[in-house]
Every structure is written in structure tokens, then in C-alpha cells.
Chains A and B, each alone.
Chain A
């Protein structure tokens, strides 16, 4: 409701502004930035407008949750010229229903297939590109160094070492792995890594695309590894009632040792008082040494809706946003990683550096995240299943049957 209100206010503002700058061509841009990236994006827009004085980019910012609903309305009712969204299967409904415009020409013209190569697969549907990615961030395990010292654990590289550490933490009354699955998605992060490390990237994507049965033995193998964590009680109890931030505070307080999370959590850990000396990052340990290491890095994107009125200038802005300068700037503000391989990352942030190292050397492939790789309905059913497994591991057969039933319905 509030977003509808701000929408109409902004519409009025757009009309007023375009009246006063009659000689400028207006590009309307709807987005959902947090305050820091918003400021950076406004700077990028100012730079772009300075270089292109005849274009006026008008940014209308929504709050995250409201945006997810609003985009479905404004794409068909009152399409802007640019809109934020996400890569992978998450953009598929809009691509398939013809709401997003094919921007392959921008990719060709500006050599983006080379400079944004790491995100090319996740931006491609039917051999065409449907938007431009501007940021991503790594997932992995964030750990409390003090807790590791307290029990005398060393940083693990393999799953067995990790589980051995868990036994130490359990003895000391520390949760080996914490998570807060009230909003479901944090559990999917754990599943993604369990599956990527057990069966590899190709299998994981086949599963997300509905090409493998959930009752397959390889899926069971993933859950068997996961059970080694759940059954001995190494995961925070009551995680189903915790928000991810609540679990983050357990890590900050040293009541938990490890947290499978995305890099955005670093800001929360640091607000809680952790520093580069007490907070550590480690890549998810190796489970099956035969599968090439794959990582998880959700990508945020900008698209041109099919109903856009100023396509030419919108494409010019997309090309600018794909460039190294713009990506350096916005990612410095977001504390995330640029996709453009010529962009720079903050050298003084060990987590950004670690993520950059991790993603740029990934041999296996980069997954988006379960709720972006799988279609929305499958994601919902799946994430509920993952949560249930972490509460009731003995229900595995029921869970897998349910997921399989959903798969047969959703992908038909």
C-alpha cells in the first residue's frame, strides 16, 4: 500500500520534472536499494548524467519486500525504463511472459560476454541475455575465531575435520553450526553447499531444474552427509523460530562457532562487536574430493521492461552500469563483489578479498541460490523440507516423497 502511494507520488514527481526539463530525455528507473547502495547508485547516475547531459535518469526507490510485489504490477501497468531484479530462474517468469526485453545487443556491442563472463550463464535464457548484472557476493562459513581457540579446533578443510570440530564444540556447549530458518532461506544455503560438495554443480543445477528425482540415491547421499550434522545435535536448537539475525548474535556471543551465510552478514557480525581479528571466513569444506569446487554467489541485476518507452537511453545506462568504474563504485558501497573482471575490490576488507579469490578461482561453477536456481514454487516446498529435515531428520522419506510429488507437478 505504501509502495503504491510512493509510486503515485513519484509518478507525479516524474510528470513535474519532465515538464521542467523539456529538453532532457527521461529514463525512469525503479529499484530496491538499501541506503548505502542507494547513495552509491545516485552517484553513478550523477556521473552518467554528467557524461550524457541530455539524459535524465529518475530513480524511484522501493523497500525490498514491497518491491517484490510491486514489480508484478508495474511491469504490466506502468512500466519504467529500467528495473532491478535477480538472475537465474528468478527472472524466468518475467522473461517467459515477455515482460523483460532482450538486451543481447548491449552484451555484444560492449564486449560484456568477456568482461561479465562469470555471470553470463545466469543471465542467459534461450541463448539471449535479458539484463545486466552489477553485483554478487559469496556464501561460505563465517566463524568465531575465539570459539575455535577456546576448544582448540583448527580451521577445517574437509568435512571430516569439520565434524571432528563439531564434537569438540558440542562438548564445550557451543553450537557447532548456527542458523535461523524462520524465513526458510538460510536453510537452503546449507542444502546448496551440502549438495554442491557431495554431487557437484551439474547435478545441483539438474536438480534445481527438475531433471532429477528427489528420491534419487544421490540426493539421499547429500542428506546422509547433512544428517551427520543434524542427528548429533550440532545445529542450533529452535532454529525454526529464529531470524537469521538472532542466529548471528549467537555467533557474536560465542554461543555458536560456525554460520553458513552470505557475505552481507559481515555487517551484522561487526555491528555486534566482532572485528577482523575475531571473525573468520572459510570456504565450505570438501565432502567429496572428486567433484570440482563450486560456489554460491547470488547475482543482482538490472533489466529493461518490455513496456519501456525510452529503450535507447536505458540501454546506454545498462552499458555504463556494466563498466568497471560503475561496478567498482557501487560494490565498494555495498560491500560486495563486482562482476566486471576489470573492476577493483576493496583491498582492506579481508572478507571481500576472500570472496573475490574464492569466486574468481571456482572451477566447478557458480550457483545463484536455491530460491533463484529453482522455480519459486519448488523453492518454497524445498526450503520447507530442508527446515523440517533439520528439525525432524527421521522424516527424511516423507520429505523427499513430498518434494518429488511437487517436482512432478511443477516442472510438467
Chain B
């Protein structure tokens, strides 16, 4: 008797709140995974960065010693400098993608084929891009090397030169990134209102003015995504560095994410605490951008655009 009544009561409670609760119930699996694989590891990294640990033996608490060492570590500053170069130059992919998109945004016979050619580098894996460019730069037989040799008499081995190597890798990274930005802008251009363009034409706008005042404002969502993706892509640049140079020559092409991997997980590393402290610094740098992006999205939502 009492059992039946509680059952009825609980069922009616569920029925009463069903509408409100269902979204949360659907969110739970996602939240659990986000918690386990993103949020908790972030705090674990902070915690781990206070230890000296080789991943096998005992952990020893050393407080801020990892950070003290990090701020006195030449390799860290090289990586940080390279990260900044990456960030600045990688953003060139945004305007470059825009201009290719505008160039391709026309109705010519077979335009889809041309578009797909331009999109092609984004489809191939970063590993393949890295290999192609490594061969392109390779001393003695690489196309780039031979070309420079033909023009100037002496070839340049980009990947062996500590001053050029980072630029060489960024050039490789730009190739697929430009294609990605181009696709974002091509879809954006589809959504440009032809009536506005028509109206602008009537007002005698053309060329740069047309682009700046009429087209670009309508492409703002595409620009936003292109910048976000490019900034994050620049900060996590890892695969190309790993494949093309392994951080070399003598560490001059390292970026923070690669240095972290090297210290924590590579053959000669297994300094988990030190790796974690690099991860923390990288996280804090990323946080600046991520909170900026989130702030902007929230602002936009509030204003209702």
C-alpha cells in the first residue's frame, strides 16, 4: 500500500519536472566526458607541475622549483619566441584565404573543380604536408634547395638553419590553413546579400571600398571563426614541428607544445612535472585568447547579432 503510493508520488514528481529536467539529463553524458577528459586533467596538470616525477617511481613535491627552472631555461624562451612567430605569421592565412575565396567566388565553367584543387591541401594529413615540405627543403635533392642553388649559386637548407627553420615550418603550415580559411569565406560569401551589393553599386562603390564597407562586415562571422581556428591552430602547432625537424637543429624550431611533449613523453624525457609546468604556461597563454573569444561571443549574443 505505502509502496504503491511512493511510486505514484515519484512518478508524478518526474512527470511534473520532466520538461525542465530532460535537457540536463541529455547533457549529463557530455558533461561527464568533458569533466573527465578536459576539466580534471587541467587541474591535474597544475597539481603535477609541483612534483618531480619520472612517470614510474615516487613523486617528490618540489613546489615551484619547476617554474623557477623554466623561467631560467633558454629552450623555454626559444619555444615561446617561436610560438609568437607562429601566432603572428599564421594569421596571414586569414587574409590570404579571403582573397583566394573572392577570386574563386565566380560562376565560370568548372569552378567547382578549381575550388576543390585549392581545398586539396586541407584534405591531406598534416603528416603528409610535413613530409612533402621536408623533401621540398631537403639539401642536395629538394626542389626548393635546387631552385635557390640555380638562382644564387648556393642552396639554402632551410631546415638546417637555426634562423630560418621556424619560418620554413610555418610556410608548410600556412598551406593547408589558407585552404581552410578559404572554405570558411567561400561559404560566407554565399550568404552575402546580393541586394546590398546591388545597392552599393548604385552608389558607385567598387573595388577596395566595396570590399571593406559592404562585403567584409557581412563576412564577420566567417572572419571570427577563421581567426579563432587559426590562433588555436598556431598555438597547438606540433605535428609539423615533430615531423619536419623534431624540434631541431639543436632545438631552434621548438614550440611550447613540442617542448612539453619532449620533456614529458619523448624517449629522452619523462620529466612529468616539468612537462606539466610547460603545459600550464601554454594553457594560461591559450586562456587569454579563449576568454577573449568567449567574451566576444557572449557580447554578440547579448546584443542579439
A interface vs B, CB < 8 Å? 68-69, 72, 75-76, 93-94, 96-97, 99, 181-184, 237-242, 246, 250, 371, 376-377, 379-380, 384-385, 387-388, 391-392, 402, 409
Contacts and interface: CB of A to CB of B under 8 A. Distances in A.
B269 A387 contact: no
A250 B268 CA distance: 29
B160 A391 contact: yes
A69 B270 CA distance: 10
Interface in B29-65: 54-57
Contacts of A376: 267-270
A306 to B, nearest CB: 12
A91 to B, nearest CB: 13
Interface in B208-262: 245-246, 248-251, 262
Nearest to B270: A376
Given A384-B251, A387-B249, A379 B268 contact: yes
B95 interface: no
Contacts of B157: 237-238, 240-241
B250 A182 contact: no
Contacts of A371: 268
**A interface SS class:** helix
B250 A380 contact: no
B249 A377 contact: no
* 4 tightest Cβ-Cβ pairs between the two chains A and B: A240-B249, A380-B268, A241-B160, A238-B157
A174 to B, nearest CB: 14
Contacts of A68: 267
B162 interface: yes
Contacts of B57: 96-97
Given A93-B270, A182-B248, A241-B249, 10 more contacts: A93-B54, A238-B157, A241-B139, A241-B160, A242-B160, A376-B267, A376-B269, A377-B268, A380-B268, A387-B250
Given A93-B56, A182-B245, A377-B271, A388 B250 contact: yes
B268 A240 contact: no
B69, B74, B251, most chain A CB atoms within 10 A: B251
Given A376-B269, A377-B271, A380-B268, A391 B162 contact: yes
B268 to A, nearest CB: 4
Interface in B259-278: 262, 265, 267-271
B54 A182 contact: no
Nearest to B168: A241
A93 B249 CA distance: 28
A384 B250 contact: yes
B118 interface: no
A161 B69 CA distance: 45
B239 to A, nearest CB: 15
B159 interface: yes
B14 to A, nearest CB: 42
B137 interface: yes
B138 interface: yes
Contacts of B246: 182-183
A353 to B, nearest CB: 33
Contacts of A377: 268-269, 271
Contacts of A385: 250
Nearest to B251: A384
A402 B74 contact: yes
A268 to B, nearest CB: 17
B139 A238 contact: yes
A391 B268 contact: no
Contact of A387 (B56, B248, B270): B248
A250 B269 CA distance: 32
Nearest to B56: A97
A409 B69 contact: yes
B130 to A, nearest CB: 13
B269 to A, nearest CB: 7
B250 A241 contact: no
B55 to A, nearest CB: 6
Contacts of A182: 245-246, 248
Contacts of A93: 54, 56, 270
A76 B56 contact: yes
Contacts of A388: 249-250
A93 B58 CA distance: 12
Contacts of A97: 54, 56-57
Contacts of B269: 376-377, 380
B247 to A, nearest CB: 9
Contact of A241 (B138, B265, B268): B138
Nearest to B158: A241
Nearest to A96: B57
Contacts of B55: 72
Given A76-B56, A182-B246, A241 B270 contact: no
Nearest to A182: B248
18 contacts: A72-B55, A237-B157, A238-B140, A238-B160, A240-B249, A241-B158, A241-B160, A242-B139, A242-B160, A246-B140, A250-B140, A376-B267, A376-B270, A377-B268, A380-B269, A384-B250, A391-B250, A392-B162
A109 to B, nearest CB: 30
A378 B248 CA distance: 17
Contact of A72 (B56, B137, B159, B251): B56
Nearest to B154: A237
A184 B56 contact: no
B74 A241 contact: no
B267 to A, nearest CB: 5
A250 B137 CA distance: 17
A238 B160 CA distance: 5
Contacts of A379: 268
Contacts of A409: 69
A181, A238, A239, most chain B CB atoms within 10 A: A238
B270 A184 contact: no
Contacts of B248: 181-182, 184, 240, 384, 387
A365 to B, nearest CB: 24
Contacts of B140: 238, 246, 250
A241 B56 contact: no
B243 to A, nearest CB: 11
B250 to A, nearest CB: 4
Nearest to A405: B72
Contacts of B245: 182, 241
Contacts of A239: 160
Interface in B129-155: 137-140
